[in-house]
Structure 1
Amino acid sequence: MTNYKKTLFAGIAGVLMCSNLYAQETNFDLSSQRSEKQDVLPVPGRKIDHQGLVINPTPQKLSFIGNEKLDISQGFILKDKQKKFTNDLNFVIFNKNGAKLIVDFGKKVAEKQKVKDVSGAYALNIHKNGISITGYDERGAFYGIQTLRQLLESPIAVNKQLPYLEINDYPNLPNRGVVEGFYGTPWSHEVRMSLIDFYGKFKMNTYLYGPKDDPYHSCPNWRLPYPEKEAKNIKQLIEASKRNRVDFVWAIHPGQDIKWNEEDYKNLVNKFNWMYDLGVRHFAIFFDDISGEGTNPSKQTELLNRLTDDFVKVKGDVSPLTVCPTDYSKLWADPTEKGSLAIYGKTLYPDIKVFWTGDVVCSDLTKETLDFINSRIKRPAYYWWNYPVTDYVRNILLQGPVYGLDTSLTKKEVCGIVSNPMEHGEASKLALYGVADYTWNIAAYNALDNWERGLNELMPNARDAYRTFAIHSCDTETGYRRDESWETTTFRLANWTDEAARNLEREFEKIENVPAEIDKGCTNQNLMKELHPWLTEFGKLGTRGKRAVELTRIYRTGQNDTLFWNKYIQNLMSKEDRKNYEAHKSGTMKLQPFYENAMDDMAHEFLKHLTGEIPMDYKGIGSFGNSSTTQTKLMLDNDTTTYYTSGIAQKAGDWIGVDLRTIREVSEISILQGRNSIDDVDYFDHAVLEYSENGNNWKALTGELEKQYVIHWNGDPVKARYVRLKRLDSKRTNYASVRSFEVNPLHAENLGFKLETEDRQQALYAFDRNLGTSFECSESIVFEVEKGIKSYILLTNRLSTPLKCKQLDAKGNLVSETILDSPFSKILLENKNVEKIRIEGTAEIFEIIAEKE
């Protein structure tokens, strides 16, 4: 459902203007679904001392009976009254001399134990006569067994004794589980089987099978039966689900190419019959992320009702259908009586469950969003929570707490919740541990405590290292933001304190050691395989963060420019470093920004110290939530293959610009909007270019700019510190992206001296007063010596071989030759006859600084 694939259509706004069009007609822009909020709210709850007793989900009622304990050192003697649960108790030792364990279920016995008349409810009692588990139904007794299993795994049972207690427990919601509905690589069969066991252990009862990249789930092959191997796998998934008392719900996604005729109706019924023969008894139909005639809500409800009559009721053992409507988010849903949701409410059979993602695609579960949807579909919605899914940020691994879910809800407002996880199934378990807890006992849900317990569940032998990784691997950076690194305080160069630096340094040292500790302690090899690429980059982040703190200490002494520069370049990320980090990010909210800001701040101040002038390393600014972050550097990096993106929908008054750091004369501005200059949807299609000296009073440099990806302004110089591109009236709701934002770009003719090299345009970066840019010199660079210059400072990256520096007179004769073997070199002019400097060799040159007499 979280479809962020790039499309070339006109946009959602134009669709919603026309009441006779459905929400995802042919011109619907699927990329406009990406309008998530960027509010970063703190994690609610607190860590609790459970005194050795850990049960997930949190029971509705648990009472200790005195201080006595039951001896279980001899194991158990089982009395399985319904002959159903022997295979579910493989975690206990059976012994005729053991403590009694009675398992039973049924309405009559449950009523005697005051078990709530809800599927999944149970009572578990531990007393002097042994342990009794009574379920309202078979599923309830199974859940009681899972609670016993967790009791035995808890520290409280380490001495083979269990305290006398009574548990009376039941789920708040009838549908609790997972939808495999993400885009990207589907889970392996092994991971699916592992996850089903996980669902059962933590009392989740629903697994919706609907991977978008399964060709037999979606078009074009939804009409065809599964091949033999895939069909065998599905049968095994169904069998595993039965063992874990999980409803395996098979979903089909036919809407993109379905024809509303008898032929396709028969195709659908045939597919359902094939799946029924494989063992499927629960079915769903997804009409999400489609365009064309398949979006017709009247046809959708007609189909669902007919399937209910012809298939569900005829079979007799098939549960009511579930549907994902095309209008699954308030972001584009038509709220009127003519809208798709209202049509669902008026025409769809009342027992068919209807999915909803909330105000936007990835959003919090609130009473307000449920009021909106329920009033239209005339039933409690089925919440499809797009968390911890990362198909829109596949370089992120979400390991943070589960929160953003209203804890006052009941089944009257929401009939169930399913989580759409990451393509990394094992790594999704930490979040699913929280979803299981919330959906079972909503009012008691404690997000932070659940997360602390979940860490131990997933990695008991390396919990602390896993916690360090997880607390710094929470945020999506764009889109549905999550709090991250909330126990870590970072700072800017100007706000340095020794104590803050020591604390941060210790945290980076911990981070540096995490990969080795998890590699040693993690026993789940599939989880380790998923985590490994992120752990590798996480350890590197610890190293460069620690070095940044050390480097700042050196910088603050101000005693040795050579030492500082040598240490500085040692801690720079190479292109390969950046590529690897971008592919597997963590620490995006505080840790990596600390590194980036520390290095940038020191570079700025160091260059200012060397030149006596304010450097030209401009800063990105704007109206979006991430405008003050390091992401804006992507439009200032002289690389048009990278881009800054707003991460949320553009709206009236939004703008993107640069801070020139001081008032300067501005005579030229060049901007590349969008991710390309041909057909991208993420740009301001109606805008104006403005400037300001103080950031408050803005003046226009251009007239209204209509649908311009490439913007170039030349004119009489104006005095400005701030320049921006401002959005004017527009129906566009896409993100805004900028590949390049150049103010007073440096040209060779403006240097004031002659320059000779293999790539003169690139060589300008060696003279642009910006240490964030560089020139890759592969042969040589020759530059004319200006009058009044006594020396030059050459700042390079690490040198693989020494450079030759030749000083030449006006005729090109050699005046002197020296070897430069240090990244920080000072070139003293031999005499006044020196007209040119020639530097020979291979080097990345950050800056060549002229020093006046």
Structure 2
Amino acid sequence: MSANAAPAARLTGAIEGFYGRPWSPAERLQLVSDLADLDLDAYLYAPKADVHLRRRWEEPWPAAEAAALERLSLHCQGAGIAFGLGLSPFRLYADYGPARRRALQARIRQLDELGAAFLAVLFDDMPGDTPDLAARQAEIVADVAAWSGAARLLVCPTYYSDDPVLDRVFGPRPTGYREALGAGLPEGVDIFWTGRTVCAASIAEADMADAAAAFGRSLTLWDNWPVNDGARRSLHLYLAAPPEREGALSSTCAGHLCNAMNQPVLSLPALAGLAELHGRLASADDWLADRLGSAVATALAEDAALLEHRRRDELDPREEGRLRERYAALPGAAPEELLAWLDGAWTFDPDCLTD
């Protein structure tokens, strides 16, 4: 790895890493500008629907998509945001022979052309039924580290949480997987971890310490707050700061990236809370009032608990009517997203394997 644009030592920002309809190029550009205004420093592009990063990872993007990503990379550089790319070479570890190794090297060279400050190799949401899984994945990451020009490299394990749902969906985790992966990865490669569960209600300092000890290195939080792409979570909106994240401030946490919702503007309360948590922002409430307008910010704060805890399809008709009337009278993209969500604009993606 060599430096294209050295990111901050501690990455703190947003991930576009959800299932379902990705954000538009314009929405990404605006989100990056918001991250800069929040004094956050990182954005990871890794939408599950981008087949050129996942199922068809060997294929370069079509010209229009590549051009949009080039503009995004340049916008990140201009805004002082470390631009990251998340490559998910689907089940590459099951058949990593010479031909596929050459294909991976060629793809890494293509990704380098976008000037990403950091690269993430993502093995999440893939079957773990490969002998010597950790060793095979470490081999791939070592090759990427040797080929990539990015200043920083991260990896998401197949078993990125203690959550037993991963064992049920992807097969039982191999004995000693975390220890073997941590020992096999090159020095300086960071590991993503989501907490004790996939969508953690809290992340304590002890949680971070235990997982870091198992992997043998500090961890970067892939925080699945406020993401809402799953069967249950898609029926909710998460309009508050990440809850109970004391572990994010511990010495074993090397970074903290929040996986945003399908709704980019409605993700801003969580990202403003992230910035306040890490001392980048004096007051998330004040920033939201300036960014969204005081009436919109107040409405979202007042309705946050209802929308977090009550399913969309279980809203009382009078409550839904109140929400529709309230947000139809308010200006801006946040009310528009909320009304579209009420109309079912973001439906559950049945390929989502994390809920």
TM-score, normalising length: structure 1:
0.36
What CA distance in whole angstroms lies between the structure 2 residues aligned with 1:260 and 1:377?
Answer: 23
Are positions 1:229 and 2:67 aligned together?
no
Query: Matched residues, percent identical?
Result: 23
SS at 2:137 equivalent: helix
Correspondence for 2:255: 416
Q: Which one of 159, 175, 184 corresponds to residue 20 of structure 2? A: 184
Residue 401 of structure 1: CA displacement? Answer: 3.7
Correspondence for 1:465: 299
Correspondence for 2:139: 302
Q: Which one of 198, 213, 218 corresponds to residue 49 of structure 2? A: 213
Correspondence for 2:153: 321
Residue 296 of structure 1: CA displacement? Answer: 1.2
What CA distance in whole angstroms lies between the structure 2 residues aligned with 1:463 and 1:199?
Answer: 17
Residue 336 of structure 1: CA displacement? Answer: 11
Say if 1:513 and 1:453 are closer, same or farther in 2 by CA, change over 3 A. farther
Say if 1:372 and 1:463 are closer, same or farther in 2 by CA, change over 3 A. closer
SS at 2:124 equivalent: coil
Say if 1:321 and 1:422 are closer, same or farther in 2 by CA, change over 3 A. same
- Give 1 or 2: higher helix fraction: 2
Amino acid across the alignment from 2:242: V
What CA distance in whole angstroms lies between the structure 1 residues aligned with 2:173 and 2:295?
Answer: 55
Correspondence for 2:218: 380
What CA distance in whole angstroms lies between the structure 2 residues aligned with 1:450 and 1:380?
Answer: 28
Say if 1:239 and 1:437 are closer, same or farther in 2 by CA, change over 3 A. same
Amino acid across the alignment from 2:68: N
Say if 1:215 and 1:407 are closer, same or farther in 2 by CA, change over 3 A. closer
Correspondence for 2:125: 289
Q: Which one of 387, 392, 395 corresponds to residue 235 of structure 2? A: 395
What CA distance in whole angstroms lies between the structure 1 residues aligned with 2:191 and 2:213?
Answer: 13
Cα RMSD of the aligned pairs, angstroms, is 3.3
Are positions 1:331 and 2:163 aligned together?
yes
Q: Which one of 162, 175, 193 corresponds to residue 356 of structure 1? A: 193
Correspondence for 1:256: 91
Correspondence for 2:266: 427
- Give 1 or 2: higher strand fraction: 1
What CA distance in whole angstroms lies between the structure 2 residues aligned with 1:427 and 1:175?
Answer: 22
Correspondence for 1:454: 288
Correspondence for 1:529: 336
Residue 185 of structure 1: CA displacement? Answer: 1.1
Are positions 1:344 and 2:181 aligned together?
yes
Correspondence for 1:519: 328
Amino acid across the alignment from 1:200: A
What CA distance in whole angstroms lies between the structure 1 residues aligned with 2:211 and 2:289?
Answer: 35
Say if 1:515 and 1:241 are closer, same or farther in 2 by CA, change over 3 A. same
What CA distance in whole angstroms lies between the structure 2 residues aligned with 1:274 and 1:212?
Answer: 19
Residue 455 of structure 1 contacts residue 466 of structure 1 at CA under 8 Å; is this kept in 2? no
Q: How many correspondences in the alignment? A: 329
Residue 388 of structure 1 contacts residue 422 of structure 1 at CA under 8 Å; is this kept in 2? yes
Cα deviation digits, residues 691-741 of structure 1 (max 9, x gap): xxxxxxxxxxxxxxxxxxxxxxxxxxxxxxxxxxxxxxxxxxxx9xxxxxx
What CA distance in whole angstroms lies between the structure 2 residues aligned with 1:337 and 1:464?
Answer: 48
Residue 350 of structure 1 contacts residue 379 of structure 1 at CA under 8 Å; is this kept in 2? no
Correspondence for 2:3: none
1:597-676 alignment to 2 at 5 Å? none
SS at 2:309 equivalent: coil
Q: Which one of 265, 288, 293 corresponds to residue 101 of structure 2? A: 265
Correspondence for 2:349: none
What CA distance in whole angstroms lies between the structure 2 residues aligned with 1:408 and 1:387?
Answer: 13
Give the number of the structure whose alpha-carbon radius of gyration is greater: 1
Are positions 1:278 and 2:85 aligned together?
no
What CA distance in whole angstroms lies between the structure 2 residues aligned with 1:433 and 1:387?
Answer: 12
Q: Which one of 33, 37, 49 corresponds to residue 201 of structure 1? A: 37
Amino acid across the alignment from 1:359: R
Residue 207 of structure 2 contacts residue 247 of structure 2 at CA under 8 Å; is this kept in 1? no
Say if 1:180 and 1:294 are closer, same or farther in 2 by CA, change over 3 A. farther
Amino acid across the alignment from 1:375: A
TM-score, normalising length: structure 2:
0.82
Residue 209 of structure 1 contacts residue 250 of structure 1 at CA under 8 Å; is this kept in 2? yes
Residue 521 of structure 1: CA displacement? Answer: 3.6
Say if 1:301 and 1:521 are closer, same or farther in 2 by CA, change over 3 A. same
Residue 178 of structure 1 contacts residue 207 of structure 1 at CA under 8 Å; is this kept in 2? yes
SS at 2:152 equivalent: coil
Deviates most, 460-469 or 260-269: 460-469
